[in-house]
Chains A and B, each alone.
Chain A
């Protein structure tokens, strides 16, 4: 059970043979609460794994500090940090049985034999490694991917560490196992009630498992927030586009004054095309008044763009390019005058819409506006 504090953390790889140095983690600052499930998410190369490895002690800290329970751990070797890590490829010792794989860390710490047996048995039971088949005597190569994953989890659990670190633990599993294991890890978190730090590039995993999410890009922390806050109030264009699947729609346009005294958003289109325009509510207009006649980006989730909807009295005419029926809902890929967009709806189930025009009703009360220069969201 532990609180982890990341303070002004940098990881800089020196440039070799004349190449410039590479900043893998660029001034990261965040705090992971005791018993929190924190997910670090971002595209590959964003520094999330490097951050995790610095917490684990597998990577040296260039600058800044990491504290576990108030104690600075920069110089403390991994084994004395009281953390356990689950690796992407499980990293089970191929020459040891499942039992020894789980017991190894305890043996090295001089835990008495019966205590080891007890702990391994109880972890194995929790993870279903005893029923229906007792797998403890098997070597890793005789296990399926899912079973190996559970052994890797078990190896972490038996240690009863202050914090669990996960490095993309589900990416080697097939889709079905991934969903199963995802819920299993969530359950485990509830049961063990311990701090977990989880790295993934998959925003679905992040959204479903996390208490809070740290979104990273180019080594920089973009936003730290609870999943739904991240979804509804993204801090910038990158977060808005990264979280949510299908991604948020973006329309570039300008704000101009309308006759009613409010502002209207006018889509930016190539010459000859008709832009879609929509009047903003009085409140939104007030908020954006300083940006009149300036360019900005309107972000709208696919589910806030419904066909033939009259919710806001605004319609957006678009041509259907592709229809993807998912069963419960349908993704419709469309083209407006100047943009492509995706609409996510339960209203359409037929597929022969391709090439046809469709009227869409954007729910502007859910729209997020971004500054095109800074890419930051314009605060509510």
Chain B
């Protein structure tokens, strides 16, 4: 009886929270289908009186070269995901499964870099990329991804630490080199963690506004996040319905990706070769 009551209670709480989290999303989609005059109405109108599907093609047109922005975003996201996953995994391997003098100290320094907010280093980084002659190119937006990020290294290291050492040792006796252990034993077993890192990185790159804003120069290099700006605060006011329609479109790939990968996230890992 009590158990039932408790689970009912938690279901109600979860539903409440879920509803709360869904509300902004719902508002965005709803607004994207309204005519402009209904978007800012008071009291708020929950649903459009009649859905304006043409808002979507209109918004795409208003943004400028939508498909070009999409391509730019996709290229950057792809490079960032590949670079981050590979480099962070390799670095995390070094921090978790190899013994070397000073390892923990270096790891601490790496973690410390997480404490520095991006705006603090923005200017020196800009100077660095300018010295390299990379301003106005895509390089500043993807090359750093191949140099591993502290957070992802931390995440993967924690995961790698849970993989029993015996597996590496068995592989070593079987004839694996260190790199092969990484590649053939550790990486396949770390799939859920790698996928998590990939998804985080995809979202970060996809949603990144500041990076493209400061490093890119020409409009044909813009990403979607930057492109959305075109709909904001134009002289005639913000076209909320278009902005929301475009936002929905930009958000869609992230949503799809999450649903595709969530099973792997939640399943976790089966280390059942052991015990």
Contact = CB atoms under 8 A, between A and B. Distances in A.
- How many chain B residues sit at the interface, stated as a range, is 20 to 34
B28 interface: no
B173 A94 contact: no
A238 interface: no
Interface string A271-283: 0000000000000
- How many chain A residues sit at the interface, stated as a range, is 20 to 34
Contacts of A56: 169, 173
B170 A91 contact: yes
Contacts of A109: 175
Contacts of B174: 79, 104-105, 108, 155, 159
Interface in A67-112: 77-79, 83-85, 87-95, 101, 104-105, 108-109
Given A91-B167, A95-B189, A84 B274 contact: no
A105 B176 CA distance: 8
Contacts, number: 79
A172 interface: yes
Interface string B162-182: 001011011111111000100
B229 to A, nearest CB: 45
B170 A87 contact: yes
A93 B163 CA distance: 11
B173 A78 contact: yes
B272 interface: yes
A141 interface: yes
Contacts of A90: 273-275
Contact of A79 (B173, B188, B189, B273): B173
Contact of B188 (A89, A91, A95): A95
Contacts of A92: 170, 273-274
A303 B238 CA distance: 97
Contacts of A104: 171, 174
Contacts of A93: 167, 170-171, 185, 273
A168 B198 CA distance: 40
B274 A89 contact: yes
12 contacts: A77-B172, A78-B172, A83-B173, A87-B166, A90-B275, A91-B166, A93-B273, A95-B188, A104-B174, A108-B174, A141-B270, A159-B174
5 interchain residue pairs of minimum CB distance: A141-B272, A92-B273, A105-B174, A140-B273, A94-B273
Interface of B: 164, 166-167, 169-176, 180, 185, 188-189, 269-275
